[in-house]
């Protein structure tokens, strides 16, 4: 199956996608992670993408769409994939429909994660990620701290804060882009009958792992 994680920054898309990937064997495809890996390796794609990412803007489709096409063409995606961070615009969603229909596939389920805005900002400011590109585990200083401060539980590498996560104004700008460009996808996929909405919030004690369990029940 081809699943899409939808939802604003900091709602836990990466966490849910990672858990679903582990249980299903379908790869997690995070466009943000692919960009960051390319940026740290200083590839041509990374250098181009960084011009936009460092300003908090979306990377243009000319760069993003071919990258996703390449990734979906790899052998490990032939039975399914969990897309995390793509599509982010209605144009990208239409492109994805084309790409999948050429393979005789379609988007089977879209998981729309919602979290109150004030909680989102706090979560992003407290987010720490593993600096090892092979691991990329995500932690939260208050909700989900590592066992040893600053060190990844999985692999022992240093935990770091993403550059774009450290500044509240930059976070608000990314959320504004989400509202403008990405949130129309909620209607787009509702109309196709494939969207489910899942609330993730500390206040109702419902976290990514609860959502992943629910989704796994639905796709069994």
The 8-class DSSP code of residue 183 comes to T
Nearer to Zn ion, 61 or 153 (CB): 153
Smallest Cα–Cα separation from 210: which of 6, 4, 19?
19
**Is 174 considered catalytic here?**
yes
Binding flag, residue 31, ligand ADP (CB under 6 A) = yes
The answer to whether residue 159 forms part of the interface with Zn ion (CB under 5 A) is: no
> Which residue in the list 94, 103, 162, 218 is annotated as catalytic?
162
Q: Is 206 marked active-site?
A: no
- Could you tell me the strand order of the sheet in which 195-199 lies? 28-30, 81-84, 2-7, 109-114, 195-199
| 203 catalytically annotated | no
Q: 30 has which bridge partners?
A: 84
Q: Does 154 bind Zn ion (CB under 5 A)?
A: yes
218 is catalytic: no
Q: d(Cα 142, Cα 147) in Å, to the nearest integer?
A: 12
What angle is formed at CA 195 by the lines to CA 88 and CA 104, rounded to 5 degrees?
Answer: 80
Residue 152 is a binding residue for Zn ion (CB under 5 A): yes
CA dihedral 52, 53, 59, 64 (to 10 degrees): 140
Shortest reach from residue 26's CB to ligand ADP, in Å: 18
Q: Is 143 in the site for ligand ADP (CB under 6 A)?
A: no
Q: Quick one: 154 or 166, whose CB is closer to Zn ion?
A: 154
Q: Which residues form the catalytic set?
A: 13, 88, 127, 162, 174
Residues binding ligand ADP (CB under 6 A): 9, 31-32, 35, 52-53, 57-59, 64, 85-86, 88, 92, 174
């Amino acid at each position: 199956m081809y699943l899409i994680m939808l939802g604003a920054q900091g709602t836990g898309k990466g966490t849910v996608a990672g858990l679903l990937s582990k249980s299903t064997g379908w790869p997690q495809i995070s466009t943000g992670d692919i960009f960051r890996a390319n940026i740290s390796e200083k590839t041509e794609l990374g250098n181009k993408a960084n011009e936009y990412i460092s300003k908090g803007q979306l990377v243009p489709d000319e760069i993003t769409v071919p990258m996703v096409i390449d990734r979906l063409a790899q052998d490990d995606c032939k039975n399914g994939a969990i897309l995390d961070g793509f599509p982010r615009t209605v144009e990208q969603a239409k492109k994805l429909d084309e790409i999948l229909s050429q393979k005789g596939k379609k988007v089977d389920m879209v998981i729309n994660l919602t979290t109150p805005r004030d909680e989102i900002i706090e979560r992003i400011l407290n987010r720490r990620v593993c600096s090892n590109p092979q691991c990329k585990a995500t932690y939260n200083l208050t909700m989900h701290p590592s066992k040893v401060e600053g060190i990844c539980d999985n692999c022992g590498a240093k935990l770091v804060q993403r550059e774009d996560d450290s500044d509240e104004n930059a976070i608000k700008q990314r959320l504004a882009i989400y509202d403008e460009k990405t949130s129309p996808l909620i209607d787009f996929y509702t109309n196709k009958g494939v969207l489910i909405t899942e609330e993730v919030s500390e206040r109702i004690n419902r976290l990514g792992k609860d959502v992943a369990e629910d989704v796994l029940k639905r796709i069994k």
